[in-house]
Chain A
Amino acid sequence: MLIATFGIFGMRDVLQIGVFLIALIVLTPLLGSFMAKALNGERNFLTPIFGGLERSFYRICRIDPEQEMDWKEYLLAVIAFSLVGLVVLWLLQVTQAYLPLNPQHLPNVSWDLAFNTAVSFMTNTNWQSYAGETTLSYFVQMAGLTVHNFVSAAAGMAVLLALVRGITRKSKEGLGNFWADLVRMTLYVLLPLSVILTLVLVGQGTVQTLSGYAHATTLEGQKQVIAVGPAASQIAIKQLGTNGGGFFNANSAHPFENPTPLTNFLELLSIILIASASVYMYGKMVGSTREGWVIWGVMLSVFCIMLTFSLYSEYSFHPPYVTAPSMEGKETRFGNTNSILWEVTTTVTSNGSVNSMHDSLTPLSGMVGIVDMMFGEVIFGGIGSGLASMLLFVLLTVFIAGLMVGRTPEYLGKKIEAYEVKMSVIGVLAPGAAILIFTAIASITKVGLSSLGNNGPHGLSEILYAFTSGAANNGSAFAGLNANTVFYNVTLGIDMLIGRFVPIAAYLSVAGSLAKKKAVPPSAGTFPTDSTLFGVLLVGVIIIVAALTFFPVLALGPIVEHFLMLAGKTF
């Protein structure tokens, strides 16, 4: 068992976590109520600045923002938009050598890597099978990746808005207009926040330049090539949009991406801020902030459980290591607590940026990262999609709990019937199915195993981490696994597509079905979903669904590795 030596975990660490949580709690309702207004198309303080731009967008693209789409039209718009983005990004990569802004003269990207990367950025995953600074030109990074960082996040928010409309509207067909939702999210939320964050990052020393690699001579007289580029602008949106794809391979552990404690704090906060605020926004939109806060409380509770577990494992003394906590794979600039806080934050949201190497975490701490993603990114989760998936869990919980109080189940007045149950389970379980199937294939085939950097249970964890990260649209990696092979590029690509679009189809079909229903007014016999009791039940359902689906494979990966480490054997 673990031998706790919590002495090293002191007041300073508590303070770091405390400040982060307080900042989050304060900013959530502020940004949330602004989003509720702006995304509803209401007038807000940014309208004088962006209103004209918004309207001219609609004019140029011939969009009527008032034109309602039913769920099928909405879904079609999402898919069409994503597909076009995918093809364009793929083309940009395989032709980057002929395109401008390529001072390093990087060659064209291979078809499979380009496919993987295009899917990855289009699905808001930002899994990177490549090292950014040595693979992609500035043009691809800026015109391709950064654009997707914005629009994939905005598309995620759009489907959430459609789902919320499905819940709140009564006896209607329409779920809003996808194009208007996309434009509003980008213009009023993502763009202003990114501009602010970019400026602060640049002020703190994050690199932002269009010139090529810098060449330097070290004190020993060695020649050194230092990769630079337009990083700050991409980093801002990579954090805010739960994208996570670093400009540099080392991601936010790299001093040019994340130079100071302040940038670390801001980048960390940006990972979770919009996802957190959208829960408050949800409460506003359904007419009861309590409903929102209960869901938020559920997310925070699971977040804290996972954080505590991970910290405990990291700070415990484990026989093979001389010291606890282990500093392997961590930035001395940030220390252990900040690395673990980042690890948990980036895996519960579907961000995936890292400021330490997850491959080097203790087995159980690494498992926390995997399990966070296995929850289906419902703990804050990706922009929009996180809360939308959480709402599917809410529907399933309501279904079971509603039966237990003796009424056919309803949520916010809408009856939950066979169709909603069917679509919700498909949305919740499809990513899990993809994880299991792909991990199983990779763990017994030559093509799968040849990429492994480690053997034993840690190798299985690496494969599991990769496919879990893909299906959860997270994008963080356990490293150690050489994912830039045709096999992994293609399977992970499909994995990411399943993880993105099956749930989206589920949200929208559920939204379509709910919108058509009448609302049942609440009574004393109605099961209240804004109560602590419901929150506790929801936490239970989320943990049990993930645990039951993945316990066997986790037992053979991180859990057995943990026991072996206690016995003095590491991998």
Chain B
Amino acid sequence: MDKKSDYRLASTFDRKIVVQALVDSVKKLNPKTLVRNPVMFVVEVVALISTYIVIREIAIGRESLFNIQITLWLWITVLFANFAEAIAEGRGKAQAEALRKARSETTARRIEDGKETKVNALDLKKGDIVVCEAGDVIPVDGVVIEGIASVDESAITGESAPVIRESGEERSAVTGGTRVLSDRIVVRVTAEPGGTFMDKIIGLVEGAKRQKTPNEIALTILLSALTIVFLLAVSTFPAFMMYSGKASGISVRPYITLPILASLLVCLIPTTIGGLLSAIGISGMDRLIRKNVIATSGRAAEAAGDVDVLLLDKTGTITLGNRMASDFVPAPGIPVERLADAAQLSSVADETPEGRSIVVLAKEKYGMRAKKVRDVGATFIPFSAQTKMSGVEIPATDGLGPRSIRKGSGEAIKKYVTELGKNFPQSVQKNLEEIARAGSTPLVVVENGDVLGIVQLKDIVKGGIKERFAQLRKMGIKTVMITGDNALTAAAIAAEAGVDDFIAEAKPEDKLGRIRAEQASGHLVGMIGDGTNDAPALAQADVGIAMNSGTQAAREAGNMVDLDSNPTKLIEVVETGKKLLMTRGALTTFSIANDVSKYFAIIPAMTAALYAFGKPVGPLAALNIMHLGSPQSAILSAVIFNAIIIILLVPLALKGVKYRPVGASAVLRRNLLIYGLGGLVAPFIGIKLIDMLINALKIV
């Protein structure tokens, strides 16, 4: 975890949030809201019944300290569960508060019929035109229709480096709440009031619109069913007790009071997972937000854990954004220095990263300093789509003849050379093919029609990406690289990066087609994209992450937005999804395993008097394997343990269980050992300790 998120995690427990959560946990006692959580709702109902009994006992002056304490702890159980949910919501609420404040104070400069009026940002409608200058806060989401500006988007991304926004296809989307740092842009509003990206973020981080995800619903059904079973087991138990009481000639009434039965029930039903379930869900979303990814629904976060095919754009994700010159391959009879010199000359004025890399390579390899070619009156021929070449014309100087240098793809240069009536050497043609096969892009350099050789441009695979893909493979996730390169180049890079599959010469519709094909054979597909042409694929993917730097269309189409616009984020998103599901599974197992110890605490306490036939205790006292002090202390300890385990596990619920990219069996074995076996053993120790404390304090 990096420093930034560490700092944010620490803030989870800051004082303001805790105080707010405490208040909220009382508010959440409202049965109308609690009924969404069937397990805790049952606890509240039995707590109410116990309260009624305690009040009645006090009224007739026969209060029992034991019953009062039991009732208290039943309420505490509900409050602890509420607190877990409230604290999970707390962090998001604080963040939303700040965002909302910033929004409501913004005024916008709306342009109507060429006239500028100041209006509140909240009054803007879709289609309005606003203007923003240096220092202005962009009032709502929109697209730049005129101008270029640097924008500080730290309000939503936390990233302080400014980004460029300009009219056109690629970088035109602006987000409400961000600040223009320089220049002036005209923006067309694209969001309805209340429906802006910022509004969505506020809603999401607050958790206000949180709906249960499909898997959460399924788990809730399982937990409810367990609750019903235990309700039956507990409610039929008095009958068996009465039968046994009659058979052993005693009255069992003191052992089957409602507070005792309530204790047994609450200890058995899965309160641990029931209490923490929604906290786990909220914190899953929160973990994404901390990674600067906004999921538009919990469903998407959950699906991320299931993704087993990732479509990754080659450029930017697998390779560094641009090709870099890596070698000069001269034609026969040409000294490599001459080739390097000509290549450098032709690239001096070329501001593309590729061009710059050629200049740098010539300098590093052959010590050639970029010449001040402008001084000698050179003319640059920029790259054009027609010729597919760029170059330079240098007039004759110092006894040297005029130089006409061109560089371009093999095809283009061949055509150019042939038109000049010269020939294209066979060996260069061979080299061209070799370089292409190795996954690089060749650029041929000619001077005055003579082929000098080839500049090899190489895709640089990002450091550590191969290991990353190996991890993914272990997790059972297939990676597919998408590139516009030809098949040869694509295969070479795929091999170097270690992806499982690739699509070469991909057109936008190929992405969509591949996603559909994978889905049809049952896979869940995740992809990350930015351009407008990615929008259909993003919408089709099960997890579509749009980069925040991307177009508005892409952002709308995906179900997540990556504020950092970092393509490798997809991998972290998948891990977060898995963590979310694992935490649910682990705590469910823990919760159920806990029940064994509770039976051994409460059943002997309730039944020890049966079949005693005059002796101080009956035969079932043998089940008291923890040697708990007294029946009352045994029951109370079980109830107390059951309540405080919820609060003890809140950090785990918020942080999530540790995920390691190893195979499914290894993960299961580990989690079973920790949460299954641990869940079996831990409460035996916990209950015993609490019982010792209770007996030392003599509170029952």
Q: Which residues of A pack against B, CB within 8 Å?
A: 396, 399-408, 413, 416-418, 420-422, 425-426, 429, 432-433, 436-437, 439-441, 443-444, 449, 455-457, 459-460, 518-521, 523-528, 531, 533, 537, 540, 544, 547-553, 555-557, 559-560, 563-564, 566-567, 569
Q: Residues of B contacting A520 with CB < 8 Å?
A: 308, 522-524
Distance (Å) between the CB of B542 and the closest chain A CB? 11
Apart from A399-B222, A556-B241, what are 12 other A-B pairs with CB-CB below 8 Å? A405-B667, A406-B667, A426-B225, A429-B228, A432-B232, A439-B236, A456-B611, A520-B522, A548-B229, A548-B599, A553-B236, A563-B619
Q: Is the CB of B667 within 8 A of A455?
A: no
Q: Is the CB of B219 within 8 A of A401?
A: no
CA distance A441 to B239 in the complex (A): 7
Q: Is the CB of B218 within 8 A of A531?
A: no
Distance (Å) between the CB of A547 and the closest chain B CB? 7
Query: What is the chain A residue whose CB lies nearest that of B230?
Result: A548
Q: Is the CB of A523 within 8 A of B308?
A: yes
Confirm or deny: B370 has a beta carbon within 8 angstroms of a beta carbon on chain A. Answer: no
Residue among B475, B522, B667 with the highest chain A CB neighbour number at 10 A: B522
CA distance A557 to B619 in the complex (A): 12
Q: Is the CB of A457 within 8 A of B599?
A: no
Distance (Å) between the CB of B498 and the closest chain A CB? 15
User: Which A-B residue pairs are the 8 nearest by beta carbons?
Assistant: A525-B476, A403-B585, A406-B578, A563-B619, A523-B476, A404-B585, A524-B476, A440-B239
Q: Is the CB of A564 within 8 A of B595?
A: no
Q: Is the CB of A406 within 8 A of B579?
A: yes
Q: Is the CB of A403 within 8 A of B584?
A: yes
CA distance A436 to B244 in the complex (A): 16
Query: What is the chain B residue whose CB lies nearest that of A432?
Result: B229
Q: Is the CB of B236 within 8 A of A440?
A: yes
Query: What is the chain B residue whose CB lies nearest that of A555?
Result: B603
Q: Residues of B contacting A396 with CB < 8 Å?
A: 222
Residue pairs across A and B with Cβ atoms less than 8 A apart, 9 shown, are A400-B588, A405-B585, A405-B668, A407-B578, A407-B581, A417-B214, A443-B242, A457-B611, A563-B619
Confirm or deny: B592 has a beta carbon within 8 angstroms of a beta carbon on chain A. Answer: yes
Q: Which residues of B pack against A, CB within 8 Å?
A: 214-215, 217-219, 221-222, 225-226, 228-230, 232-234, 236-237, 239-244, 247-248, 268, 302-303, 305-306, 308, 473-478, 520-524, 577-579, 581-582, 584-586, 588-589, 592-593, 595-596, 599, 603, 607, 610-611, 613, 618-620, 622-623, 659, 663-665, 667-669, 671-672, 675-676
Distance (Å) between the CB of B534 and the closest chain A CB? 25
CA distance A558 to B336 in the complex (A): 95
Q: Is the CB of A521 within 8 A of B584?
A: no
Q: Is the CB of A456 within 8 A of B585?
A: no
Distance (Å) between the CB of A7 and the closest chain B CB? 26
Q: Residues of B contacting A548 with CB < 8 Å?
A: 229-230, 233, 268, 592, 595-596, 599
Query: What is the chain A residue whose CB lies nearest that of B212?
Result: A418
Residue among A403, A429, A436, A544 with the highest chain B CB neighbour number at 10 A: A403
Query: What is the chain A residue whose CB lies nearest that of B663?
Result: A524
- Set A404, A443, A521, A549: member contacting B668, Cβ < 8 A: A404
Q: Are A547 and B588 CB-contacts (below 8 A) given A524-B664, A533-B665?
A: no
Query: What is the chain A residue whose CB lies nearest that of B220?
Result: A418
CA distance A523 to B518 in the complex (A): 13
Query: What is the chain B residue whose CB lies nearest that of A404?
Result: B585
Q: Residues of B contacting A400 with CB < 8 Å?
A: 222, 585, 588-589
CA distance A403 to B591 in the complex (A): 14
Q: Are A519 and B240 CB-contacts (below 8 A) given A418-B221, A525-B475, A559-B620?
A: no
Q: Is the CB of A408 within 8 A of B581?
A: yes
Q: Is the CB of A563 within 8 A of B596?
A: no
- Set A457, A526, A533, A552: member contacting B233, Cβ < 8 A: A552
Q: Is the CB of A457 within 8 A of B668?
A: no
Q: Is the CB of B239 within 8 A of A443?
A: yes
- Set B241, B247, B308, B622: member contacting A525, Cβ < 8 A: B308
- Set A441, A525, A537: member contacting B672, Cβ < 8 A: A537
- Set B244, B268, B579: member contacting A556, Cβ < 8 A: B244
CA distance A454 to B334 in the complex (A): 111
Distance (Å) between the CB of A500 and the closest chain B CB? 20
CA distance A525 to B476 in the complex (A): 4
Q: Is the CB of B228 within 8 A of A455?
A: no
Q: Is the CB of B243 within 8 A of A444?
A: yes
Distance (Å) between the CB of A173 and the closest chain B CB? 18
Q: Residues of A contacting B578 with CB < 8 Å?
A: 406-407
Q: Are A560 and B218 CB-contacts (below 8 A) given A406-B581, A520-B522?
A: no
Q: Is the CB of A456 within 8 A of B668?
A: no
Q: Is the CB of B222 within 8 A of A421?
A: yes
Query: What is the chain B residue whose CB lies nearest that of A463?
Result: B243
Q: Is the CB of B665 within 8 A of A531?
A: yes
CA distance A563 to B615 in the complex (A): 14
Q: Is the CB of A413 within 8 A of B218?
A: no
Q: Is the CB of A457 within 8 A of B244?
A: yes
CA distance A368 to B242 in the complex (A): 24
CA distance A268 to B162 in the complex (A): 81
Distance (Å) between the CB of B639 and the closest chain A CB? 17
Query: What is the chain B residue whose CB lies nearest that of A449?
Result: B243
Residue among B228, B229, B584, B623 with the highest chain A CB neighbour number at 10 A: B229
- Set A417, A418, A443, A544: member contacting B243, Cβ < 8 A: A443
Q: Is the CB of B302 within 8 A of A408?
A: yes
Query: What is the chain A residue whose CB lies nearest that of B303?
Result: A408
- Set B242, B599, B664, B667: member contacting A444, Cβ < 8 A: B242
Q: Is the CB of A403 within 8 A of B221?
A: no
CA distance A520 to B603 in the complex (A): 45
Q: Residues of B contacting A563 with CB < 8 Å?
A: 619-620, 622
Q: Is the CB of B610 within 8 A of A560?
A: yes
CA distance A346 to B218 in the complex (A): 35
Q: Are A403 and B219 CB-contacts (below 8 A) given A556-B241, A560-B611?
A: yes
Query: What is the chain B residue whose CB lies nearest that of A425?
Result: B225
Q: Are A444 and B239 CB-contacts (below 8 A) given A406-B659, A407-B306, A549-B233?
A: yes
CA distance A404 to B585 in the complex (A): 4
Q: Residues of A contacting B665 with CB < 8 Å?
A: 527-528, 531, 533
Residue among A401, A407, A460, A564 with the highest chain B CB neighbour number at 10 A: A407
Distance (Å) between the CB of B606 and the closest chain A CB? 8
Distance (Å) between the CB of A236 and the closest chain B CB? 39
Q: Is the CB of A553 within 8 A of B237?
A: yes
Q: Is the CB of B225 within 8 A of A436?
A: no
Q: Residues of A contacting B607 with CB < 8 Å?
A: 555-556, 560
CA distance A199 to B610 in the complex (A): 54
Q: Is the CB of B217 within 8 A of A418?
A: yes
Q: Residues of A contacting B668 with CB < 8 Å?
A: 401, 404-405, 527, 533, 537
Q: Residues of A contacting B240 with CB < 8 Å?
A: 439-440, 443, 460, 552-553, 556-557
Distance (Å) between the CB of B612 and the closest chain A CB? 11
Distance (Å) between the CB of A510 and the closest chain B CB? 13
CA distance A335 to B577 in the complex (A): 59
CA distance A537 to B244 in the complex (A): 35
Q: Residues of A contacting B214 with CB < 8 Å?
A: 408, 417-418
CA distance A426 to B585 in the complex (A): 21
Q: Residues of B contacting A444 with CB < 8 Å?
A: 239, 242-243
Q: Are A460 and B305 CB-contacts (below 8 A) given A403-B585, A437-B236, A531-B665?
A: no
Q: Residues of B contacting A552 with CB < 8 Å?
A: 233-234, 237, 240, 599, 603
Q: Is the CB of A401 within 8 A of B476?
A: no
Q: Residues of B contacting A426 with CB < 8 Å?
A: 225
Query: What is the chain B residue whose CB lies nearest that of A422?
Result: B221
Q: Residues of B contacting A567 with CB < 8 Å?
A: 619
Q: Residues of B contacting A443 with CB < 8 Å?
A: 239-240, 242-243
Distance (Å) between the CB of B598 and the closest chain A CB? 10
CA distance A551 to B233 in the complex (A): 9
Q: Residues of B contacting A533 with CB < 8 Å?
A: 665, 668-669, 672
CA distance A406 to B474 in the complex (A): 13
Q: Residues of B contacting A519 with CB < 8 Å?
A: 522
Distance (Å) between the CB of B558 and the closest chain A CB? 20
Q: Residues of A contacting B306 with CB < 8 Å?
A: 407-408
